Chains A and B, each alone.
Chain A
Amino acid sequence: AQKVTQAQTEISVVEKEDVTLDCVYETRDTTYYLFWYKQPPSGELVFLIRRNSFDEQNEISGRYSWNFQKSTSSFNFTITASQVVDSAVYFCALSEAPVRDDKIIFGKGTRLHILP
């Protein structure tokens, strides 16, 4: 069965520090998809990134970067030079994507506090 573990429940860093959010997943499939979502204090969930299991290249988008390592079943998220607006709950998610199905399972989330 698919499973996503975000071991860090809550993290606090001072503004401008770098911070990494960990995500470890479990799946029996060789084809799967990983996602990160952000939930700011307003409550709405926002999609950040999608990665398939065949693409292990790291991704960078501005101050955000993602490190996908199949060998350790991890898909970690790093925020460089954090800002107060980055304060949110971040969720990692996994889809095993069988034919004509799309059960997307989320981790428990990591609450990130960026202190001014």
Chain B
Amino acid sequence: NAGVTQTPKFRVLKTGQSMTLLCAQDMNHEYMYWYRQDPGMGLRLIHYSVGEGTTAKGEVPDGYNVSRLKKQNFLLGLESAAPSQTSVYFCASSFRLAGDGGGELFFGEGSRLTVL
């Protein structure tokens, strides 16, 4: 079982370039999330989605856009990359809301992005 798959796994960008990270899950999960992980900062929520066609801002949404056109995919876009966006990005999905007895997140392996 693939679970949550992120592509690409590694990418190097120059300042000002754009790119899209793709997250795909094959578990028919309703809820999807994008986090970034930086040394000393833990995991910070960028954007999330509570269903197909919906997105919401997390803790650090500036500089990122997202789309959830299909239930299984959650795209994270950087329109004009900046060195401050150098990070490891994790996508996650969950079957049910925490309030409905869920909240367990299934994570992808991470995507390491470097912006020069």
Q: Is B74's CB within 8 Å of the partner chain A?
A: no
CB distance from A113 to the nearest CB of B (A): 16
Contact A105 B56 (CB under 8 A): no
Cα distance, A31 to B103, chains bound together (Å): 14
Interface size on A, residues (CB 8 A): 29
Contact for A104 among B33, B40, B41, B42, CB less than 8 A = B33
* B104 surroundings in chain A (CB, below 8 A): 35, 47, 50
CB distance from A99 to the nearest CB of B (A): 7
Q: What 0/1 readout, one digit per residue, does chain B (28-40) give for beta carbons within 8 Å of chain A? A: 0001010100001
- With contacts A91-B42, A106-B35 known, is A43 near B109, CB below 8 A? yes
Cα distance, A103 to B110, chains bound together (Å): 20
Contact A101 B50 (CB under 8 A): yes
Contact A102 B42 (CB under 8 A): no
- With contacts A33-B99, A102-B31, A103-B48 known, is A108 near B56, CB below 8 A? no
* B105 surroundings in chain A (CB, below 8 A): 35, 37, 45, 47, 104
A residues bordering B, Cβ < 8 Å?
A: 6, 9, 31, 33, 35, 37, 43-47, 50, 52, 91, 93, 95, 97-109
Some 27 contacts from A to B, beta carbons below 8 A apart, are: A6-B42, A33-B103, A35-B105, A43-B110, A44-B110, A45-B92, A45-B107, A47-B104, A47-B106, A50-B98, A50-B104, A91-B42, A97-B97, A97-B99, A99-B99, A100-B50, A100-B97, A101-B56, A102-B48, A102-B50, A102-B94, A102-B99, A102-B103, A103-B45, A104-B105, A106-B45, A108-B42
